[in-house]
Chain A
Amino acid sequence: MPDSLVIALIPLLPLTGFVLLGLFGKKIFRNNSGIVGTLLLLVATVLAIYIAYGYFFGYGKTNGVYQKLIPVHYSWLRFSENLSIDMGIILDPISVMMIFVVTFVSLMVHIYSLAYMKGEERYSTYFSFLSLFTFSMLGLVLSSNIFQIYIFWELVGVSSFLLIGYYYDRPSAVAAAKKAFIVTRFADLGFLIGILILSFYSNTLDFGLLIQRLTSPDSSQWRTATEASFLGISALTWGAALVFIGGAGKSAMFPLHIWLPDAMEGPTPVSALIHAATMVVAGVYLVARLFPVFAIGSPQAMHLVAYVGTVSAFLAAMIACTQTDIKRVLAFSTMSQIGYMMLSLGVSGFGTFDGSGYTASMFHLFTHAMFKALLFLCAGVIIHYVHSNEMNQMGGLRRKLPVTHISFLIACLAISGIPPLSGFFSKEEILFAAWRHNAVIYWMALITSGITAFYMFRLYFSIFWNKENSHQKEGGAQHAVEGGALMVLPLILLAIGSVCSGFIPFGNLVSFDGTPVESKPHISFSILPVGLGLLGILIAGWFYKKQNDRSDKIASSFSRIYQAVYHKFYIDELYLFITKKILFNLVGRPAAWFDKNIVDGLVNLTGNTTTMISEKIKGIQSGKLQQYAMYFLIGAAGLALFFIYYRR
């Protein structure tokens, strides 16, 4: 059993970082804030590695099965004897894997940022936000309670908001931050209701109990949850699906992906950390966390996951081919890769259930974190150098930025699934899982992988080759070009990571039930994907290696489709329409109007009527003595009549 303090420290260190830097950053640490944050995180990383080692190769395994350990656990808010939000730390293969990924990538980004963000006005703020994010992300992956995960879910969202909006004086950045937060918030609504449903039927908020109760067909909760149905769909499916919507929002799955490209407005390291490696995979992690509920409890929900994943993967790949902003391309590729993970989780819902997809997805998550972070950091270097995000501003940088060039190439190969790089292994497992369960998804995935290779290398060639002799002038200050050691070191480390991580025997370590899964496909299986990948690379080379107009020709020949794809299938516009036109003009405005004129009007009306009446009846007080007397007599007579003839 691990020392709970050590584990607790892992999230708490970044938290202290956040508090320290947040409160005293400006006053005390100033330019050292970066160092402080990085050191704290370094410690956390070391601890994480220590824990991971200990778990995988020590106490984690009892008689060959990886256990769910809960070393830290206290009741945070107790609603009733059954329902309570507990703050706990769960240790199981995926969470351990995740804490490693998060801390490692985050550390890389911290180091990178030391140089990248130097001289920024809100330097310390930046690092405090970074630490906040790291803390929340760690909290998220370690959650032992479904509400705990929701809590950190929200925190992650807000820190992402803060970091996207870091350049708050840029309207575009502010808009992007808002968009990201609101879209994910919308998804979280689904998540919340899903939680409510699941917790209502399982009558607990604790993951272990919840999964156990909702997956064992003999438990009473299972029965009620499956029998209770709304619109002909079982409550369990509703719950699972709604939770998945939450996940889809965070993981930028179609159609909730629209915030991701804009999120690139944030500083590039942030994009690397949050919008490539860690936060965006939270959705995948969530589904994985509740995997049994999905897989056993409601296959329909699982199918949803699978299809959404597939569609997202494919669409994102398509769009990526047309984008010219390098970070956006990467963003869409991220989306597409996450689509892969989702679908590989989802396929387990088809036919005979096995855990291969689960493992594959986690594996891909791991490798993807490496090479995607690497890609972004490289992009950061490039942008730093070129001072532009536009591809066509670049070209022929391979001599200017050698290290970047190499690591970028590695990353590209990895993502295109070229052996023996990490991407190859993970992607192949995914394809294998898909192939075993569902043909359609398999083929879609396959094509997508081809496209992936194409657009990644389109990016690669047009940055590092293509118009050779541009940017000669900056050639002077060679040494500072790649931002010095602090920026290069992370590149190298991550490059190594993306090369080697493929060889980790993932199947033995991470699986949905803790027992090793053996899903190595026959070598012949990998011919097709790899071939496709290579084909993609060749085409990309043919188009973009040398400066030419072939690509434009193609584009113009398919202009209608090209435009559609270029505009991301007009999904943004659709959303804009819904929010602006429908929510604001058809709901908000009327509500405000109603309040101003009807509700308020009624109140004023009563007031005005009173005054009006009093104005009207003033004639009674006519000042005529005899009229007064007349009223007197009539009043008396009236009373007398009333009480003599009416009431008696």
Chain B
Amino acid sequence: MNLSVLLLIPLLTAIAILLAPRNVQPRWIALVGSFIQLVFAFILLHLFYSEKAGNDAASMVFIRQYSWLTAWNINYEIGVDGISVAMILLTAFIVIAGVLVSWNVQQRVKEFYFLLIFLGLGAYGFFISLNLFILFFFLEIAVIPKYLLIGIWGSGKKEYSANKLALMLMGGSALVLVGLLGLYFSSGGERTFSLMQLARLHIPVGIQKIFFPLLFTGFGVFTALFPFHTWVPDGHSSAPTAGSMFLAGISMKLGSYGCLRVAVYLLPDAAKEYAPVIIVLSSIAILYGAFATMMQRDLKYMNAYSSVSHCGFILLGIGMLTKTAIVGAVMQMISHGLMTALFFAVIGMIYERTHTRIVSEMGGLMKVMPFVMTVFFIAGFCSLGLPGLSGFVAEITIFIGSWEHSGLFYRVATVAACMSIVVTAVYILRAIAQVAMGPVKNQQYLQLKDAGWNEKLAAIILIIGIIAIGVAPSWLNHLVSPGAEVIMQKITNK
């Protein structure tokens, strides 16, 4: 099958939205489009399994290559392995959920949904591309829609946040760009951007050491690598609900995926060199983010900082450079994507009703909107790593993986990471207790309605994902491990 369909569907959807006549509501087009995409993602999963059954040796399947620019030897190369399939599934889930959640957007509806779908397009392209140029193209394609989403439909100090986000992400991609050019020109006689070819040849360690920091930091900015995480809180909290879902759910994952697929996979020796730095930074991010979260008053800020902490887990897993840890990292990508998207969805629902996000102003909402609060509970429990929900699986896998190193340094880092589960519990429970439980603070909250069908559907879709991973993680494990195996081979040889 040809993966370009993954790009085609959103593209057509976006165009349809633009050209839609007055009487057709864009949201329906968006919903249909994203639903088709979701279905297609599942088909892809199925086909992938069968393909894998066919030849297990191939690291990438469904590879297509069309020469695009022979002058620079840039080709449109696409293909997937288990990891990318997982990410694609995640994206499909979040896109449809995002569309559903932002059902009642009033102003500039067309543009809103267009940008939303366009963002999705960028993510899909990023995950399927096997050519660094195309990858970079899709990485950057997603920046401006985010900016507009925040700036136009956002809340709070949206201009500032939008600017900060766009500039920091551009800064990240600037570093990535330099790194990519470095790879390109150091890729031997016949220069190439192709991931597979680059993976095949051995780049001298000296060169690796130069470009690994650029690439890793560059992608790291996207995934809130400490101390480049500061766009996260403002960006997330100012964005509209769907925007935050995208940011935290997908766009941060672009970064971590890049770290894994490009930086670590192509520059393994340098990765080994720099692993301690990564580990230190990510452990800091984990604890520091968690503690910073404890102090937040605003639900969105809370979740944003907790995202910093959780993405720290991803980077920790990548930095540990053991197969289990990497699998865990990917699982955490998926899990955190779903979980945080759910969280933001709920926060959006609450905000739509109570018009406040300050925790202390709420209370006893369980009585008012049981469904929303139940979802809130689930999201919270997932984020504090309750077994049966996806968060637990991912974190445990990372712990096990990072425990495989016996050095004291790694031990300390791991224990530090483990500590965060307590802190997480503290802030999550404080939030839940203050928002959902206790007496109803504000009497006119009693008039508020519970979730509508669209919100319920969105929440349920995401929860299904979370539980599917949490209760039976092995499918995801089987999906991801081969990909991680390939990366490990690259790391371990010589």
Contacts and interface: CB of A to CB of B under 8 A. Distances in A.
A211 to B, nearest CB: 20
Given A79-B400, A189-B418, A192-B418, A154 B292 contact: no
Interface in A590-609: 591-592, 594-595, 599-600, 602-603, 607
B133 interface: no
A77 B393 contact: yes
Contacts of B229: 599
A607 B386 CA distance: 41
Interface string B205-243: 000000000000000000000010111010000000000
A154 B386 contact: yes
B430 A599 contact: no
Contact of A154 (B327, B387, B422, B473): B387
A76 B386 CA distance: 16
B433 interface: yes
B438 interface: yes
Contacts of B419: 189
Contact of A193 (B404, B418, B440): B418
B188 interface: no
Interface in B287-327: 288, 291-292, 294-296, 305, 323-324, 327
A174 interface: yes
B437 A200 contact: no
B284 to A, nearest CB: 10
A589 interface: yes
A150 B440 CA distance: 35
B473 A603 contact: no
A647 interface: no
Given A80-B323, A154-B386, A171 B295 contact: no
Contacts of B327: 79
A151 B393 CA distance: 10
A78 interface: yes
Given A78-B474, A79-B401, A83-B400, A182 B381 contact: no
Interface string B62-102: 00000000000000000000000000000000000000000
A185 interface: yes
A599 B422 contact: no
Interface in B24-55: none
Contact of A603 (B168, B429, B437): B168
Interface string B419-443: 1011001100110010011111000
B291 A178 contact: no
Contacts of B376: none
Nearest to B373: A168
A192 B366 contact: no
B387 A155 contact: yes
Nearest to A80: B324
A54 to B, nearest CB: 30
A60 interface: no
A181 interface: yes
A611 to B, nearest CB: 12
Interface string B263-301: 000000000000000000000000010011011100000
A600 B230 contact: yes
A168 B425 contact: no
Contacts of A150: 387
Interface in B432-461: 433, 436-440
Q: Which of B292, B388, B474 has the most chain A CB within a 10 Å cutoff?
A: B292
A196 interface: yes
Contacts of B430: 178
A193 B399 CA distance: 9
Contacts of A79: 324, 327, 397, 400-401
A178 B227 contact: no
A155 B386 contact: yes
Given A154-B387, A155-B388, A181-B425, A78 B477 contact: yes
Q: How large is the interface on B (under 10, 10 to 19, 20 to 34, 35 or more residues)?
A: 35 or more
A405 B304 CA distance: 56
A158 interface: yes
Contacts of A602: 227
B280 to A, nearest CB: 16
Given A77-B473, A151-B392, A588 B400 contact: no
A83 B472 CA distance: 17
A154 B384 CA distance: 11
A70 B15 CA distance: 59
A587 B291 contact: yes
A592 B305 CA distance: 10
A139 B439 CA distance: 34
B292 A595 contact: yes
B328 to A, nearest CB: 9
Nearest to A83: B400
A182 B426 contact: yes
Nearest to B472: A76
Contacts of A583: 291, 294, 426
B473 A588 contact: no
B364 interface: yes
Nearest to B381: A158
A634 to B, nearest CB: 32
B381 A196 contact: no
A592 B292 contact: yes
A525 interface: no
A165 interface: yes
Interface string A169-188: 10100110110011001101
B415 A193 contact: yes
A128 to B, nearest CB: 11
Nearest to B366: A168
Contact of A591 (B288, B388, B408): B288
A138 B295 CA distance: 38
A294 to B, nearest CB: 22
A641 B475 CA distance: 70
Interface in B146-177: 164, 167-168
A599 B291 CA distance: 15
Contact of A174 (B292, B433, B477): B433
Contacts of B472: 76
Given A154-B387, A186-B422, A169 B367 contact: yes
B131 interface: no
25 contacts: A77-B396, A79-B397, A80-B324, A83-B400, A147-B396, A154-B385, A154-B386, A158-B381, A168-B438, A169-B364, A174-B437, A175-B433, A181-B425, A193-B418, A196-B399, A196-B414, A587-B291, A588-B292, A591-B292, A592-B294, A595-B230, A595-B233, A595-B292, A599-B227, A607-B167
Given A185-B421, A196-B403, 12 more contacts: A76-B474, A77-B396, A150-B387, A151-B388, A151-B392, A161-B429, A165-B433, A169-B364, A169-B367, A169-B438, A199-B403, A200-B403
Sorted from nearest, which 10 A-B pairs have the closest CB atoms?
Answer: A592-B295, A151-B387, A168-B437, A591-B291, A588-B294, A174-B437, A185-B425, A591-B292, A588-B291, A600-B230
